[in-house]
């Protein structure tokens, strides 16, 4: 049984903690957080601390904190012999340069506080500084997920960028859709099944092949009628995405 | 038992046909299509025709064809006494002005040829020209769906526009995400669970409250690093959506 210390007590840390609580070969022995808040969720399962100097030696240090805090945490860790990993899609492996054995353990998912997820289905992208660590890393990831991908730092940067498109930007379009509904006294729930099915379709077929709508068929009457209903900022978004759909589907607007 | 004639043999017509095949109070007696192709799917269940003059009298005429063909179909129908409905989110009720009893029966979903859907869960937005028809219309919709919404033409226009945002535009962002992955030899399937969860979250909480990412937290280092990886068209989309997220979340970029 190998030991893990988790750094952080937020959503990613909490989901990782629960996933490893069922792992065969690994056990979380301690959770560190910079403040007491959040640690109460772990108290009854393992040791916790708010003092970085009290962090115990372990086989794996898993740093699951906000991107901009990772360097500070890494600098404060005195024990350097653990395989030390961060969990961020957007941060370079270089921030862990002080550790002879380091890597990235990036679960590609959006984690919520109260919504349970089956970690087995969550893709985990792994990267190690020292090639000899790869089999240990695969074992670590394989203990909680069936979907392991070796992704280097360059690829991870692009993956994180693609995730911004399909998560952050998509979510903002949902928010724009809700605003349009609210302004017109339309219950947003009418669009819920469409939102789910649009996502489901993108998984069983290529999104490019699933494209429909006035932009794809270049229906200017509908496009102009839609534009007349939008505020200037929404008009910009509508025009740009319509043009981009036209470009992808081979015809100029 | 009331009778229905369906006009069209595409995805919407097919899904409606199957939904009404289990209905208690309604039966599809005929399917019309302008060409033979597609009608073979209905041949063994009811009459079919490619000749609009052979369309039989019925209680309900359900016009489930492409938006731009609806007026031509409506003009060709000789029997004017059916409650005559179209199924489009984007077309005015006025195109059915020749019929004393007309309405809109708009199922808010994206239909695929081979992907079965539980019609009971699909919101159906209804509108009638003559108020006396509303209870019959509610019965019709209630025979195949549990989610009936009375939506007038003005609202339906906005609803259709909101659907363009959460379906067409969202799907295009999936396509952009896939392109970024393909260019960097990253399997797009890594993003599948994120796509599904982003949609699931928008249904259990307000999308505005679910927003995360570099745009929301105004992380200029990540934003600039992302922009350097994109082509000019993608940069425009990235900048505009980032700015729009900043505007919604109260801070200027």
Tell me the ipTM for this assembly: 0.95
Inspect the interface and report whether the beta carbons of A193 and B237 lie closer than 8 Å.
no
Q: What angle do CA A150, A157, A196 make, to 5 degrees?
A: 85
Summarize pLDDT for A63-92 with one digit per residue, the tens.
999 998 999 999 999 999 999 999 999 899
Identity of the residue in B158, B177, B245 whose CB atom sits nearest the CB atom of A229: B158
Beta strands at A102-107 and A124-128: parallel, antiparallel or unpaired? antiparallel
Inspect the interface and report whether the beta carbons of B201 and A110 lie closer than 8 Å.
yes
Kindly list the distances between the CA atom of residue B108 and the CA atoms of A193, B59, B122, in Å, as whole numbers in the listed order.
8, 23, 7
B34 vs A114, which has greater pLDDT? B34
Identity of the residue in A117, A169, A222 whose CB atom sits nearest the CB atom of B241: A169
State the DSSP string of A145-179: -S-EEE--HHHHHHHHHHHIIIIIIHHHHHHHHHH
Summarize pLDDT for B175-217 with one digit per residue, the tens.
999 999 999 999 999 999 999 999 999 999 999 999 999 999 8
Q: What is the spatial distance between Cα A108 and Cα A117, in angstroms, rounded to a whole number?
A: 12
Name which of A109-123, A149-163, A178-192, B170-184 the model is least confident about: A109-123
pLDDT surpassing 60 at residue A27: yes
Q: What is the pLDDT of residue A251?
A: 55
Contact residues on chain A for B160, CB-CB shorter than 8 A: 226
Q: What is the pLDDT of residue B113?
A: 83
Q: What is the pLDDT of residue A250?
A: 77
CA nearest to A232 within chain B: B244
Summarize pLDDT for A194-230 with one digit per residue, the tens.
999 999 999 999 999 999 999 998 989 899 999 999 9
Q: Angle of helix B153-163 relative to helix A220-227, nearest 10 degrees?
A: 100
Average pLDDT, chain A: 95
Pairs of CB atoms within 8 A across A/B? 296
Contact residues on chain A for B227, CB-CB shorter than 8 A: none
The proportion of chain B whose per-residue pLDDT surpasses 70, expressed as a percent, equals: 99
| pTM metric for this prediction | 0.93
CA nearest to B91 within chain A: A222
How many CB atoms sit inside 10 A of residue A237's CB?
A: 20
Q: Tokens 């979250």 sit at which residue?
A: B201
Mean predicted confidence (pLDDT) in B226-248:
97
Contact residues on chain B for A233, CB-CB shorter than 8 A: 244, 247
Q: What is the pLDDT of residue B115?
A: 85
Mean predicted confidence (pLDDT) in A179-197:
98
Distance from CA of B136 to the nearest CA of A (A): 21
Identity of the residue in A166, A185, A213 whose CB atom sits nearest the CB atom of B164: A213
Name which of A61-65, A108-112, A163-167 the model is least confident about: A108-112
Mean predicted confidence (pLDDT) in A115-140:
96
Q: What is the spatial distance between Cα B196 and Cα A115, in angstroms, rounded to a whole number?
A: 13
The closest alpha carbon to A116, from A17, A219, A40, A186, belongs to A17
In the structure, what pLDDT confidence band is assigned to residue B40 with cuts at 50, 70 and 90?
very high
pLDDT surpassing 60 at residue B252: no
Contact residues on chain B for A125, CB-CB shorter than 8 A: 190
Average pLDDT, chain B: 95
Long-range contacts of B181-187 (CB under 8 A, 24+ apart): B181/A158, B181/A159, B181/A162, B183/A158, B184/A154, B184/A155, B184/A158, B184/A159, B185/A155, B186/A151, B186/A155, B186/A158, B186/A159, B186/A162, B187/A149
Q: What is the pLDDT of residue B251?
A: 55
Mean predicted confidence (pLDDT) in A87-100:
95
pLDDT surpassing 50 at residue B253: no
Best A108, A141, A177, A238 residue to mutate vs chain B (most B CBs within 10 Å): A177
CA A15 to chain centroid: 12
Identity of the residue in A164, A198, A216 whose CB atom sits nearest the CB atom of B213: A164
Summarize pLDDT for B131-176 with one digit per residue, the tens.
999 999 999 999 999 999 999 999 999 999 999 999 999 999 999 9
Mean predicted confidence (pLDDT) in A45-70:
96
The closest alpha carbon to A223, from A212, A213, A208, belongs to A213
Contact residues on chain A for B157, CB-CB shorter than 8 A: 225, 229
């Amino acid at each position: 049984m190998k030991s893990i210390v988790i750094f952080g007590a937020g959503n990613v840390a909490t989901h990782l903690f629960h996933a490893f609580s069922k792992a065969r070969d690994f056990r979380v022995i301690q959770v560190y957080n910079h403040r007491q808040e959040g640690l109460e969720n772990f108290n009854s399962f393992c040791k916790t601390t708010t003092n970085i100097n009290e962090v115990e030696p372990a086989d794996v240090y898993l740093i699951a904190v906000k991107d901009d805090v990772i360097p500070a945490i890494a600098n404060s860790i005195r024990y350097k012999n653990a395989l030390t990993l961060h969990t961020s899609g957007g941060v370079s492996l270089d921030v862990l340069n002080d550790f002879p054995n380091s890597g990235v353990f990036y679960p590609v998912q959006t984690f919520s506080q109260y919504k349970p997820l089956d970690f087995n289905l969550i893709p985990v992208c792994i990267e190690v500084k020292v090639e000899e660590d790869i089999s240990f890393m695969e074992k670590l990831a394989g203990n909680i997920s069936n979907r392991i991908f070796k992704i280097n730092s360059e690829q991870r940067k692009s993956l994180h960028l693609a995730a911004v498109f399909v998560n952050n930007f998509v979510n903002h379009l949902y928010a724009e859709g809700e605003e349009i509904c609210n302004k017109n006294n339309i219950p947003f729930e009418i669009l819920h099944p469409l939102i789910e099915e649009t996502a489901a379709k993108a998984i069983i077929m290529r999104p490019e092949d699933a494209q429909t709508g006035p932009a794809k068929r270049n229906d200017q009457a509908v496009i102009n009628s839609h534009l007349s209903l939008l505020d200037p900022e929404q008009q910009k978004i509508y025009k740009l995405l319509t043009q981009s759909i036209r470009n992808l589907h081979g015809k100029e607007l």
